[in-house]
Amino acid sequence: MILRPYQQDAVAAVYRYLREHDDNPCVVIATAGGKTAVIATLCKDAVLQWSGRVLVLAHVKELLQQAADKLSAICPEVPVGLYSAGLGSRDTLAPVIVAGIQSAYKRAADLGRFDLVIIDEAHLTPPDGDGMYRTLLADLKAINSHIRLVGLTATPFRLASGPICGPDNILNAICYEIGVRELIVQGYLCPLISKAGREKPDTGRLHVRGGEYVSSEVEALMDDERLVESACKELLDYTKDRNACLIFASGVQHGQHVAQTLAKLGHVAGTVFGDTPTDERDNTLTEFKAGRLKYLVNVNVLTTGFDAPNIDCVVLLRPTLSPGLFYQQCGRGFRLHPSKQNCLVLDFGGNVLRHGPVDALRLRQPGAASGEAPAKECPQCRSVIATGYAVCPDCGFEFPRQSSKHEPKASSAGILTGQVTETTYPVRAVRYYVHAKRGAPPDAPRSMRVEYQLGWQRYQSEWICFEHDGFARQKADAWWRKRSSEPVPETAEAAVALAESCALSVTRAIVVRSVAGEEFDRIVGYDLDTPADACAEPEYVPADDDVAPF
């Protein structure tokens, strides 16, 4: 198994955290970014290097079987057992056990001693109280007081309670994070494009309970005959050249109505709901994944862990206040597949306007002021784009200098095509990587990628070309000399090693230049602090094979 560079970084970050802290870390990798490969590596190391046992916990039956199958495929040398009442398996002897929390949380004594617990889709853990996870972890700790816990998720927050990591939570801190935009730039995720529906539901009268719209009211709103027929006709127009369209409905009745309407318009649509019989459900999903069923309608079933790389259109027929749910739904289209160049998100619930693009979600605590709109809709082609565009990148429409009171306001964006906006961002963290251009020959020059974390799921990167010639090398020399008294390194690998050993000055803030209508921003200024030998973060040194990090 060969890990991608960021997966290697994630594994190293877990080990570093476990050695340096007494609490529990979380790894954040964007949907479809390959969390299972990280889990498999942690399992393999624990079993083969340190003779330990690992318990992998998941929340739903589909994730259990999928996780067990993938772990066995990725590292066949490690026996994997399955413990799930729903799947009819009660394996307690394998060194790696994949278990459903509902089946396992009162069965610690049956499961035995573990050295490491891994929670997949960790955002599903309860925020507080004596939930199933806490009950199981307490009982496992009574068996082995040195047991450690690691969580993995793409969305480290909940709608009602905010971030899943905190001093009093099951998971305490994020030890590694890589977001959507970075993985798209590196070529590991499929780009998304989005369009809004012609008919707009009026969500202003919906009530909110527990931080989310009341589900019965949402279904009543979206199941309007006019809205359903309009959305179905429109999605058929948009998907003539698409291969696999996953539709998220607002309720079972609404989902059935959508499927029936598509059938009247001459297109077969499969349905998967919570009460769909297992055999029927499995057959429907098989047909959809194989490309023999183009349209698939579901309700609260296929938001997490559903793996169908051929999905090239996601249809959102459900308004939601949850940025996590919105992200997970869109994430079904992130996976790469030879049949697609991008994935189209058709948003009939105003979710992109509400939460922003999935690579830069706007997170708010319940009751907080809404602030500036994170996205806006082009009135000409109905593309939903980030607020900062003065010109629609899809059709060329120029947004007016001043918006009406009903339109999202882009107060910080450039007004005219090509106008420059410069913004200063405080830097939360800086990471360094050796970057090899995807598809380049092995002897091609590499660069050091510097990744600045500016907020959750917001990053800005730059590439420092120590192994190149000419102007690129001159820029690398100047960049280095501003930050370090060490000699300029000759290779990207040497540069990363020095950077991680605190040889560089601390970057407190960066200035990012945006040009209206251009796809990428770039860094044009830095606020550099004292030399980085004052860094508090110690250098990570891999331990000997016979010393476990837990």
Contact 213, 205 (CB under 8 A): no
- 498 and 436 part of one domain: yes
Number of CB atoms found within 10 A of residue 238's CB: 17
The Cα–Cα gap between 91 and 68 comes to: 12
Residue 404: inside a domain:
no
- 177 and 265 part of one domain: no
Q: Which domain holds residue 251?
A: 192-371
Strand order in the sheet with 25-29: 89-90, 80-84, 96-100, 54-58, 116-119, 148-153, 25-29, 173-178
Q: Could you tell me the CA-to-CA distances from 486 to 355, 396, 447 in Å, in that order?
A: 44, 48, 18
- 339 and 227 part of one domain: yes
Looking at residue 193, its pLDDT comes to 86
At 208, which amino acid appears?
Answer: V
- 525 and 472 part of one domain: yes
- 149 and 23 part of one domain: yes
- 351 and 222 part of one domain: yes
- 108 and 206 part of one domain: no
Tokens 């057992």: give the residue: 81
* Domain boundary pick from 162, 182, 202: 182
- 320 and 360 part of one domain: yes
Residues 6+ apart with CB under 8 A from 306: 62, 332
Instruction: Please name which of 417, 426, 420 lies closest in space to residue 527, comparing C-alpha atoms.
Output: 426
What CATH number has the domain bearing residue 47?
Answer: 3.40.50.300
Residue 480: inside a domain:
yes
The Cα–Cα gap between 474 and 432 comes to: 20
Residue 378: inside a domain:
no
Residue 398: inside a domain:
no
- 107 and 148 part of one domain: yes
Number of CB atoms found within 10 A of residue 385's CB: 20
Looking at residue 142, its pLDDT comes to 95
Number of structural domains (the chain) is: 3
- 44 and 174 part of one domain: yes
Q: Give the tokens for residue 545.
A: 């094979």
Residue 403: inside a domain:
no
Residue 216: inside a domain:
yes
Looking at residue 390, its pLDDT comes to 65
Number of CB atoms found within 10 A of residue 51's CB: 11
| H or E element, residue 424 | strand 420-426
Looking at residue 75, its pLDDT comes to 86
Q: Could you tell me the CA-to-CA distances from 49 to 44, 115, 548 in Å, in that order?
A: 8, 13, 8
- 439 and 511 part of one domain: yes
- 222 and 163 part of one domain: no
Residue 376: inside a domain:
no
* Domain boundary pick from 182, 201, 224: 182
pTM score: 0.69
**Strand pairing category for 25-29 and 173-178:** parallel
Q: Is 459 helix (H, G, I), strand (E, B) or coil?
A: strand
Residue 149: inside a domain:
yes
pLDDT in tens, the chain (550 residues): 789 999 999 999 999 999 999 999 999 998 889 999 999 999 999 999 999 999 999 877 767 877 888 888 888 999 999 998 888 889 999 999 999 888 898 999 999 999 999 999 888 776 655 588 889 999 999 999 999 999 999 888 775 567 888 888 899 999 998 888 888 888 899 988 888 888 888 898 899 987 889 999 999 999 999 999 999 999 999 999 999 999 999 999 999 999 999 999 999 999 999 899 989 999 999 999 999 999 999 998 887 767 899 999 999 999 998 888 888 899 899 999 999 999 999 999 988 888 877 766 655 544 444 455 556 777 766 667 666 566 665 666 777 754 333 333 322 333 333 456 778 889 988 989 998 877 778 888 999 999 898 876 677 889 999 999 988 899 999 999 999 999 999 999 999 999 988 899 999 999 988 775 565 678 999 999 865 444 544 343 444 445 677 7
